[in-house]
Amino acid sequence: MTQPESISLNKRISSSGYCSRREADKLIEQGRVTVDENLALPGARVLPTDKIYIDDELLKFSNPQKDNTFIIALNKPLQITCTTDEKDKTNVIRFLNHPKRIFPIGRLDKDSEGLLFLTNNGDIVNKILRAGNAHEKEYFVTVDKKITSEFISKMSKGVRVLGTTTLPCKVRQAGSRSFQITLTQGLNRQIRRMCEALDYTVLSLKRTRIMHVQLGSLATGKWRYLSDPEMNELMSQIENSTNSASASAKSVTVSKKQKRKQ
């Protein structure tokens, strides 16, 4: 029977989404990591079956899908850029330091935070991003002044931005200066532009859900693989989606106008 190969401890910790390899090395040096109840030493190697603890907390690992397709859920911090451009030192790929080649599904502004998907499967990217596929994204937004019923109504019905009117969406007031909004569109800085058009300024913006996947208690800067049930549900939702241009026929004109405006 073939024995599993050992891997470096810092790489194993990083693959759990707990932290980067560099941060893992620091935790090991600080004596905060144990492997099967033994204090871990710098440069240690482990087996997939070894139990790893950080500050007495057992690390949990989720396996990527059997077909080698995986999706990562990241709670993106502020000031991290959703780009693969290596010249940008704040790019999200450098931030994650994942051992596999991955890229983000869509974007979150540098000044926004919250749930971001990353994957190694370009076909999934296209199917999720196509506006015609109507996959929901939910956000929690705080603005600079009190929200009125008129503001909620106008945001829900659509606002004129980038030479077009945004599609109707779900908007619910959450506090005197905060609201939740669910979009199926993805125009450039859409929520901020919608608020600006109604004379409001966004102070903070966090994405809390993509499709059926919730941000939940995932800490800022941490990431995890989607669970098997989450992946199965996602695959089911995009099964009848298309990555062809026909899927977003309703938004083609909007996209072209948006590009000309930028």
235 Cβ contact partners less than 8 Å away, ≥ 6 residues apart: none
Question: Which residue among the candidates 88, 109, 111, 123 is catalytic per the annotation?
Answer: 109
* CATH domain 136-210 topology: Alpha-Beta Plaits (3.30.70)
pLDDT in tens, 178-224: 999 999 988 889 999 999 999 999 999 999 999 999 999 999 999 99
Whether residue 258 is predicted with pLDDT greater than 50 in this model: the reply is no
| Tokens 């779900």, residue located | 170
Residues of the chain with CATH 3.30.70.580: 62-133+216-226
Whether residue 128 is predicted with pLDDT greater than 60 in this model: the reply is yes
- The mean pLDDT of 2-27, rounded to a whole number, is 79
Tokens of 60: 């949990």
Q: Is 228 a catalytic residue?
A: no
* CATH domain 7-58 topology: 3.10.290
**pLDDT at residue 62, as a whole number:** 58
- The mean pLDDT of 106-121, rounded to a whole number, is 92
Phi, psi at residue 2, to the nearest 5°?
-70, 130
**Other C-beta atoms lying within 10 Å of the C-beta of residue 147:** 21
Residues of the chain with CATH 3.30.70.1560: 136-210
Which CATH number is 62-133+216-226 given? 3.30.70.580
179 in Cβ contact with 172 (< 8 Å): yes
